[in-house]
Amino acid sequence: MISKRNSILLWIFAVIFTLGIAVYQRMTGPTHPKNGGIELNKQLYKYKLLTSFGGEGDAPLTLRVPAPINGLVKYRFFRSDEEWKGIEMQREGENLVAFLPHQPPAGKLEYMVSLELDGQHYFLAEEPVVIRFKGGVPLIILIPHVILMFLAMLYSTRTGLEAMGKGHRTFNYTRITVITLGIGGMILGPIVQWYAFGDLWTGWPFGSDWTDNKTLAAFVFWVIAFFVLKKNKNNRLWPVLAFATLLAIYLIPHSKGGSELDYKTGAVTTGMKE
């Protein structure tokens, strides 16, 4: 039995733990901007290079560096052998600005940015940066999706702790986990993907999208845990297994193995690629 005081402590731990997982997801995913800094004339200039862009229009690249530093962007289709195209960055006050041309949903470009000072070029990254384009997702869909997925991980964590502590709320927390994960991941998730990439579901059995498959696996484990607990509310194995499964899934970077446009065929593929 878990006391009221210990329950509050477990909730505090669950919130902090879930926030940590959310930050990890954000920082490790392939859509996280590539941040860094470059030193010129003994001055450090920080930069942020986009790896994802949603909505219409071209993708903006902005660097805050003063004159007389100039900038050049080279880009080409991802996974292609085409020649690099160059864009001179334009100065707008203290900023250098360039725009990567808009691509269809799931289209990717690889690009390199260099700064020029006194005839010398300095690249911001050793390897080309890959940016994926996607359609705009309405906030009325995106915000509830994000909130419900956060709540699903929160209640999953709290349910696992409740089960391990032999608390009496395990079944109730399991029910909330199934509801939040079901609505946030299995209903709103595909709608988000429809707006972003034009497909509702690209996981098993139709594709190999990691995000869809991860969500499906977690949901299946939690549904099993729900029905097991409905028959036997003292069961501890399945809620702990379901929590461990969702945790392991959240530790896989978000959007990894997602939709990608094949420029040669025009088809959108999913899954890990070499």
CATH label of the domain that carries residue 79: 2.60.40.10
Residues 20 and 146 in one domain: yes
Q: What region, left, alpha or beta, does residue 93 occupy, with left being phi > 0 and alpha being psi -120 to 50 degrees?
A: left
Q: How many CB atoms lie within 10 A of CB 36?
A: 12
Residues 193 and 121 in one domain: no
Residues 152 and 100 in one domain: no
Q: Are 108 and 132 in contact (CB under 8 A)?
A: yes
Q: What region, left, alpha or beta, does residue 165 occupy, with left being phi > 0 and alpha being psi -120 to 50 degrees?
A: alpha
Mean pLDDT, residues 163-176 taken together: 95
State the pLDDT confidence band at 243, using cuts at 50, 70 and 90. very high
Kindly state whether residue 274 falls inside one of the protein's structural domains.
no
Please give the helix or strand (H or E) that residue 12 lies within, else none.
helix 4-28
152 contacts: CB under 8 Å, gap ≥ 6? 177, 180, 181, 184, 185, 246
Nearest to 169 by CA among 241, 245, 242, 236: 236
Residues 150 and 238 in one domain: yes
The pLDDT of residue 251 is 84
Kindly state whether residue 24 falls inside one of the protein's structural domains.
yes
Residues 25 and 43 in one domain: no
The pLDDT of residue 273 is 46
Given 98, 118, 134, the domain boundary residue is 134
The rounded distance, in Å, linking the Cα atoms of 135 and 75 is 21
- Total number of domains in the chain: 2
Kindly state whether residue 70 falls inside one of the protein's structural domains.
yes
The pLDDT of residue 256 is 59
The rounded distance, in Å, linking the Cα atoms of 46 and 74 is 19
Taken as a whole, the chain contains a residue count of: 274
- 9 is in which domain, residue-wise? 4-29+137-269
Given 134, 166, 184, the domain boundary residue is 134
**pLDDT above 70 for 154:** yes
Residues 199 and 262 in one domain: yes
The rounded distance, in Å, linking the Cα atoms of 185 and 149 is 7
The pLDDT of residue 270 is 63
Which percentage of the chain shows pLDDT scores above 90?
68
The pLDDT of residue 254 is 63
The pLDDT of residue 274 is 39
Tokens of 266: 């025009």
**pLDDT above 90 for 241:** yes
Q: Which of 54-58, 104-108, 154-158, 205-209 has the highest mean pLDDT?
A: 154-158
